[in-house]
Structures are given as structure tokens and as C-alpha cells.
């Protein structure tokens, strides 16, 4: 949010109706002389998503007011949509005004590429979406190449902030479609045993499928309408897997800041040991693609804490 608004937004409609002299004209980058009439800059070619003018101090003020409005009402965390498309100076101007009233608010930015550490430092956000790790998780499982995951975890460990980790979101092909349901369990095992703030996309806990397509309406399959009444149905087995792994994560809160040590590495087998920052706590994670996908989380002395297949 805050990169763009709908082309039906009242401020944008008022700017179009009143012309360059409108109080909202400078809230958007509008070409008033464009062929066919005024045309505003939009988000990545989507004509219905009109980009805000982030250099306008009034836009800075407005966004700070909006964030404080909802934070006053209990919102304690924000995900900044398309944050990569907004100048970092904008966030560094907005966020102090929010934290002045809500010092404990947590802000994560959607950033797909670029210098992650530099973005966090310049913008003032707490975290950002860890797309490189997401790619390495599904790609290593799909291609049976755990060397990619091992390398990515090394890069992940070097980040000077706590990343927002995920294996699915509303912009990408569902993990069960990408790698298959069994391998999706292994992806979840990685997500729940490495450093970061893990996030889950609604429906993945039921092994929902859906293919992202680069076309108009290409997000429809990965963003289905929710049923009127919750039902586990055929996805109950995956739901139970999620319950078990989320419970394990909560019983080991140090995993948020864990470091990982590689114990065994081949294309199809990866064993690593997430360890607490003080070195006092350790788990062993064993992923195997040599036949049917298998995973185990155990204590250093060999006591199983999670096994798949059970």
C-alpha cells in the first residue's frame, strides 16, 4: 500500500475533474497534455493503479496520518506493498511520525530485488520480504539441488536485520503447485527452522494449488474466493503438518535469530543445524529427495521432533 491508489480514488477523480489547479493535482504525476486526455503514471503498467507523487510533502503527511489512524486502533504491524517502487526517502520521512506515537510498531516492506541491507538502512523499515531465500527453497526442491539452498542460507545469515520469510504469497504460484504437495512440506520445514519472521499465505495450510500467470486476471487462481464456511476437506493432512511445525517453532522462539551450520550436503540430501545466537540450543534438520521426499527435525541426540512422512 501507499505506492498507488485505485483510479476510482476520490482524490484522483477530483484532480481530473478540476485540472492542474486542483489541490490534488500534485498528488499524482499527471500528463495533462497526453493524447486522449490527462494520463497519470501507473504502477507497472496497470492502468487501474495510479501512482502517488511521493515527492509531495502532502502525500507524506497523508500516509503518516493513515498509518497512525489504524495504529491508534490496534494495528501493530504493517506490510508495505510494492515498497521497492517507492523512494526510500519517503519511508524515512513517514515512519518516524508513526513511531513517535507507536514506538513498538513493526514494519515490513515488500522488496523483490536489490540491495536488501541498504534498503532497510535508508528507509527505516524493520524487515523486508526475503525473496532470494523463497526462490532458493522452491528451486532447490524442484531441481533436486540443495547446494542452491545452502548458498542462499549463507547469504540469509549475513543480513543485518530479521527478514520476513515465506514460501507463498498472493503474487506467486502456490507452493503445492510449484513443487508438489510432498515437497511443499519440506519447504515448510525450512521456513519453520531458519532465521526470520515466517509468514504463511492463506490456503497453503490446506495444500491449495494455483498457477500465477502473466496476463490480465493472472492472479485469480492464486487468490480464490474464500468459502462461506471454513472446511479442511482433502487438505486436512497438510493442516495438521502446519499445526505441528508452527507448534515446534513456538516452542523454540530462538529460531527467529538462529544461525545454520551445514552437516551434510549433496544434490538430494541436506542436513543442517539451526542454533541459537548464544549456542545453547540446537536442532538438526534432515531433508531427503533421494526417493519419496522425506524430512525430519530432531534433537542433537537423535530424538525425533517431527517426521514426514509420519
Residue 230: pLDDT band (50, 70, 90) is: confident
Q: What is the CATH number of the domain that holds 40?
A: 3.90.400
User: Could you give the CA distance from residue 284 to residue 300 in angstroms, rounded to a whole number?
Assistant: 6
Which residues constitute the domain of residue 17? 4-51
- Which tens digits make up the pLDDT trace of 14-33? 999 999 999 999 999 999 99
**Residues 308, 309, 310: CA angle, nearest 5 degrees:** 85
Domain boundary, last residue among 256, 288, 304: 256
- Which tens digits make up the pLDDT trace of 243-290? 999 999 999 999 999 999 999 999 999 999 999 999 999 999 999 999
- Does residue 182 fall inside a structural domain? yes
Alpha helices in 10-54 (DSSP H): 10-18
pLDDT of 1 over the 80 cut: no
Helices 131-143 and 181-191, packing angle to 10 deg: 140
Domain boundary, last residue among 256, 271, 305: 256
| CA 230 distance to own-chain centroid | 24
**Residues 157, 257, 248: CA angle, nearest 5 degrees:** 120
Residue 136 sits in the same domain as residue 222: yes
- Does residue 116 fall inside a structural domain? no
Report the number of distinct structural domains present in the chain: 2
Domain boundary, last residue among 256, 272, 304: 256
User: Could you give the CA distance from residue 201 to residue 189 in angstroms, rounded to a whole number?
Assistant: 15
- Which tens digits make up the pLDDT trace of 165-218? 999 999 999 999 999 999 999 999 999 999 999 999 999 999 999 999 999 889
Residue 133 sits in the same domain as residue 46: no
**Residues 257, 76, 91: CA angle, nearest 5 degrees:** 85
Amino acid at each position: 500500500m501507499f505506492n498507488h491508489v485505485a483510479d476510482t480514488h476520490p482524490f484522483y477523480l477530483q484532480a481530473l475533474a478540476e485540472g492542474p489547479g486542483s489541490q490534488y493535482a500534485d498528488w499524482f504525476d499527471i500528463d495533462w497534455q497526453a493524447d486522449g486526455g490527462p494520463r497519470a503514471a501507473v504502477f507497472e503498467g496497470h492502468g487501474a493503479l495510479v501512482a502517488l507523487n511521493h515527492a509531495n510533502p502532502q502525500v507524506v503527511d497523508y500516509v503518516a496520518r493513515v498509518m497512525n489512524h489504524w495504529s491508534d486502533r490496534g494495528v501493530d504491524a504493517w506490510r508495505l506493498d510494492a515498497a521497492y517502487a517507492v523512494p526510500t526517502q519517503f519511508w524515512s520521512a513517514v515512519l518516524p511520525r508513526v513511531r513517535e506515537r507507536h514506538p513498538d510498531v513493526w514494519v515490513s516492506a515488500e522488496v523483490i530485488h536489490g540491495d536488501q541491507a541498504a534498503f532497510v538502512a535508508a528507509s527505516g523499515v524493520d524487515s523486508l520480504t526475503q525473496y532470494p531465500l523463497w526462490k532458493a527453497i522452491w528451486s532447490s526442491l524442484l531441481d533436486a539441488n540443495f547446494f542452491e539452498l545452502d548458498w542462499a542460507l549463507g547469504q540469509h545469515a549475513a543480513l543485518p536485520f530479521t527478514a520476513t520469510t515465506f514460501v507463498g504469497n498472493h503474487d506467486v504460484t502456490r507452493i503445492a503447485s510449484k513443487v508438489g504437495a510432498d515437497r511443499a512440506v519440506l519447504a515448510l520445514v525450512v521456513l519453520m527452522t531458519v532465521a526470520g519472521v515466517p509468514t504463511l499465505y492463506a490456503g497453503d495450510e490446506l495444500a491449495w494449488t494455483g498457477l500465477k500467470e502473466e496476463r490480465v486476471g493472472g492472479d485469480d487462481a492464486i487468490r480464490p474466493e474464500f468459502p462461506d464456511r471454513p472446511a479442511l476437506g482433502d487438505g486436512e493432512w497438510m493442516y495438521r503438518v502446519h499445526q505441528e511445525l508452527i507448534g515446534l517453532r513456538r516452542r523454540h522462539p530462538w529460531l527467529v535469530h538462529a544461525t545454520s551450520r551445514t552437516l551434510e550436503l549433496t544434490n538430494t540430501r541436506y542436513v543442517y543445524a539451526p542454533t541459537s545466537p548464544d549456542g545453547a540450543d540446537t536442532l538438526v534438520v534432515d531433508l531427503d529427495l533421494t526417493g519419496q521426499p522425506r524430512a525430519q527435525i530432531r534433537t542433537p541426540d537423535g530424538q525425533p521432533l517431527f517426521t514426514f512422512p509420519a
